[in-house]
């Protein structure tokens, strides 16, 4: 089943695919181990920073082999692709899903750039995600005036024919200084007005019941990144503080185990776990 079909099916069933970023072998293993335990489909996400760090071909081979070894239903997704050129590289490398993020440009530029990517992706059969509105990145301020409007969403989807749309409804990338509040009413209105898969970015730190409410109102893909890095590093630091061990093969697995525990819970949260 193509990524587009799987996401649409999940949206109709009021559950979501958890899209998880990986940064190295250890975080990838944590994702795959957790998904295997609860029998959940996976979307393995790579950002430009992770691609630059690991190398595109190396990261793809690592992900593909992992999916095969664990016998998982999964795909590789470009997260926050900042250029058409990067999207093309990822499509050529075999990504089944790509995101073009031109959300900080004008509406016209965002539409134009997204249309280019949609056209590029058609021969590959790849899923295309875009972002509309203002989802703050690390260090940026949250402002409800930047939330995605129903009118803009309808116009954008019609103009681009994009498969999935990340909407700004109160989430942010990174951790929150106070408990976030998602605008579920706005989300429900966007869902009612558009026939597109809706995506929630910045789920780290959002209460589970709020994420589930968003899923009931159209979200079919939930991105998780910051919590994975944070969980891994906290566990690693704690291990190093209490040990003189220099064999990284004995140190890293404890941090990976903490990621597994986190993600087993998150897969259940979004409703994709079979067990």
> What is the domain partition of the chain in residue ranges?
3-270
Q: How far is CA 59 from CA 73, 178, 258, in A?
A: 18, 35, 22
Residue 245, pLDDT score:
84
CA–CA separation, 140 vs 130, rounded Å? 20
* Residue positions annotated with a catalytic role: 79
Q: Select from 124, 116, 37, 123 the least CA-distant residue to 76.
A: 124
pTM of the model: 0.93
For residue range 27-81, list pLDDT tens digits in order. Answer: 999 999 999 999 999 999 999 999 999 999 999 999 999 999 999 999 999 999 9
Known binding residues for dihydroxyacetone phosphate: 174, 202-204, 223-226
pLDDT score, position 175: 62
How far from 18 is each of 72, 132, 178, 185, 262, CA to CA, in Å? 14, 20, 23, 22, 12
Interval 248-255 mean pLDDT: 92
**pLDDT tens per residue, range 76-97:** 999 999 999 999 999 999 999 9
Residue 20 near residue 224, CB atoms below 8 Å: yes
Binding-site annotation: residue ranges for Zn(2+): 80, 101, 131, 173, 201
Q: What is the DSSP string of the chain?
A: --HHHHHHHHHHTT--EEEEE--SHHHHHHHHHHHHHHT--EEEEE-HHHHHHH-HHHHHHHHHHHHHHHT--EEEEEEEE--HHHHHHHHHTT-SEEEE--TTS-HHHHHHHHHHHHHHHGGGT-EEEEEES----TTPPP-GGGSPPHHHHHHHHHHH--SEEEE-SS--SS--SS-----HHHHHHHHHH--SEEEE---TT--HHHHHHHHHTTEEEEEE-HHHHHHHHHHHHHHHHT-----HHHHHHHHHHHHHHHHHHHHHHHT----
CATH class of the domain defined by 3-270: alpha beta
The annotation places the binding site at: 80, 101, 131, 173-174, 201-204, 223-226
Interval 127-181: pLDDT, tens: 999 999 877 655 444 555 579 999 999 999 999 999 999 999 987 766 666 677 8
Q: What mean pLDDT do residues 246-262 have?
A: 94
- pLDDT, position 201: 95
The closest alpha carbon to 131, from 158, 162, 108, belongs to 162
């Amino acid at each position: 089943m193509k990524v587009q079909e799987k996401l649409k099916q999940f949206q109709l069933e009021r559950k979501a695919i958890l899209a998880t970023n990986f940064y190295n072998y250890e975080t990838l293993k944590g994702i795959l181990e957790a998904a295997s335990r609860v029998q959940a489909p996976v979307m393995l996400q790579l950002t430009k920073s992770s691609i630059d760090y690991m190398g595109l071909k190396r990261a793809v081979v690592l992900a593909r082999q992992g999916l095969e070894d664990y016998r998982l239903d999964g795909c590789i997704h470009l997260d926050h692709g900042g250029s058409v050129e990067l999207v093309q590289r990822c499509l050529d490398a075999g990504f089944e899903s790509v995101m073009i993020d031109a959300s900080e440009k004008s509406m016209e530029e965002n539409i134009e750039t997204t249309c280019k990517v949609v056209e590029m992706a058609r021969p590959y059969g790849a899923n295309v995600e875009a972002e509309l509105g203002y989802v703050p990145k690390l260090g940026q301020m949250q402002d409800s005036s930047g939330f995605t409007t129903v009118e803009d969403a309808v116009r954008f989807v019609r103009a681009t024919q994009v498969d999935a749309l990340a909407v700004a409804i109160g989430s942010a990338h990174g951790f929150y200084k106070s408990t976030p509040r998602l605008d579920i009413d706005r989300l429900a209105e966007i869902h009612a007005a558009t026939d597109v898969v809706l995506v929630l970015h910045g789920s780290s730190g959002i209460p589970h019941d709020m994420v589930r409410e968003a899923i009931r109102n159209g979200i079919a893909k939930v991105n998780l990144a910051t919590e994975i890095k944070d969980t891994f590093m906290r566990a690693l630091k704690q291990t190093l503080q209490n040990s003189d061990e220099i064999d990284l093969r004995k140190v890293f697995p404890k941090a990976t185990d903490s990621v597994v525990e986190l993600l087993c819970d998150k897969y259940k949260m979004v409703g994709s776990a079979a067990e």
